[in-house]
Amino acid sequence: MSRIIRKALLQKLQESPKLAELQRDFFALAHVRLSILGPSGELLIAGAACGDSPLCQWVQGSAGGRDHCRRVQRNAADAQGGAVVTCDAGLAVLAVPLRAAGQTIGFLAVGGYRVGAFGAEGINRLRHLLSRLGLEDDLDNIRARTADTHLLERRAHEALHRWLTIAADDLAESIDLRLDYREKPLPAAVSKVCAWISREFQGVIRLSEAARLSGLSEGHFSRLFHESTGLRFIEYVNETRLDEARRLLGQSALPVTEVAFASGFQSLSQFNRLFRRSTGKTPLEWRRAQSAVAV
């Protein structure tokens, strides 16, 4: 699966009404926050994977703490939902794969709770973490913060794992990634057109030309493309152009208007609308955010 398809599918998952519904359900049932992680464990929904946990917010108050949280998220992704991953603050993160075309495109994750009560060993690990981060506090305050952390017993955590696995399939199906397509590689006709788009996206891309290249009628090609990738043809084209726009915004000083047209968009208003829908930011806001991270 191409990087473009993976990104676009993750974007569709984040925008799916089903995700918002699942987030409400998981919070109501287990008081945990549901997030989506990228293929390398990066958080794709604003905030921390552990949501509003007081301990997580405390640790996230330092750059070192945020780095620690990112490492834990990557470890949870590497575990593939096989086991709970616990950070040094004693918070659990669990991630299960979201799969398409036989590949893992990301992870559905929950976190910010503890499995079982804090013992002396857990308190000591937390104190060592806080010391490394320069967030030392007295033992009474540390115990008070841990007491405010949501607790799940082992059996409840195991049930949560099962719910999360079911929810991942439910979420994938909400964007038409049916099970009979998820284990198949892309058809040759679709792969050929994807390669053509990657070369020609800066110019005019028409469905009729894509169908001609595939050797299929427009209707047949459109159905095959959607069934194989989970995306409509125009969605794939737009995501290819947005990917180039993000590259140019991050690596060049080109004005936004030039970035839009260099990426293949025919109007600035269309570019701004699609970019904001994809990233949650305007192109200028996104560029500033990338500059701040680089610093």
Per-residue model confidence as pLDDT tens for the chain (295 residues): 577 888 888 888 888 889 889 999 998 988 888 888 887 777 766 444 565 677 787 787 788 888 888 888 888 888 765 567 888 888 888 888 887 656 778 888 888 888 877 777 888 888 888 888 887 667 777 777 777 788 888 888 889 989 999 998 888 877 765 444 445 678 899 999 999 999 999 999 999 999 999 999 999 999 999 888 878 999 999 999 999 999 999 999 999 999 999 999 999 999 999 999 888 889 999 998 877 655 4
DSSP 230: S
Q: State the Cα–Cα distance between residues 76 and 93, nearest whole angstrom.
A: 6
Class of domain 188-294: mainly alpha
Q: Do domains 3-180 and 188-294 have the same CATH topology?
A: no
| Tokens (6 digits) for 77 | 């992704």
Paired strand residues for 92: 86, 113
Q: State the Cα–Cα distance between residues 168 and 109, nearest whole angstrom.
A: 9
Q: State the Cα–Cα distance between residues 275 and 59, nearest whole angstrom.
A: 32
CA separation, residue 251 to residues 102, 107, 291 (Å)? 33, 28, 10
CATH fold group of domain 3-180: Beta-Lactamase (3.30.450)
Q: Where are the domains of the chain?
A: 3-180, 188-294
Q: State the Cα–Cα distance between residues 126 and 167, nearest whole angstrom.
A: 31
Full 3-state SS string of 74-103 = HHHHHHCCCCCEECCCCCEEEEEEEEECCE
Residue with tokens 């616990």: 86
* In contact, 36 and 10? CB cutoff 8 Å: yes
pLDDT at 279: 84
- Bridge pairing between strands 92-100 and 85-86: antiparallel
CA-based nearest residue to 36, from 6, 59, 61, 62: 6
Q: State the Cα–Cα distance between residues 7 and 265, nearest whole angstrom.
A: 19
pLDDT at 177: 55
User: Cα–chain-centroid distance for residue 12?
Assistant: 10
pLDDT at 182: 47
- Model-level pTM? 0.71
CA-based nearest residue to 229, from 258, 197, 200: 197
User: Cα–chain-centroid distance for residue 207?
Assistant: 29
Paired strand residues for 101: none
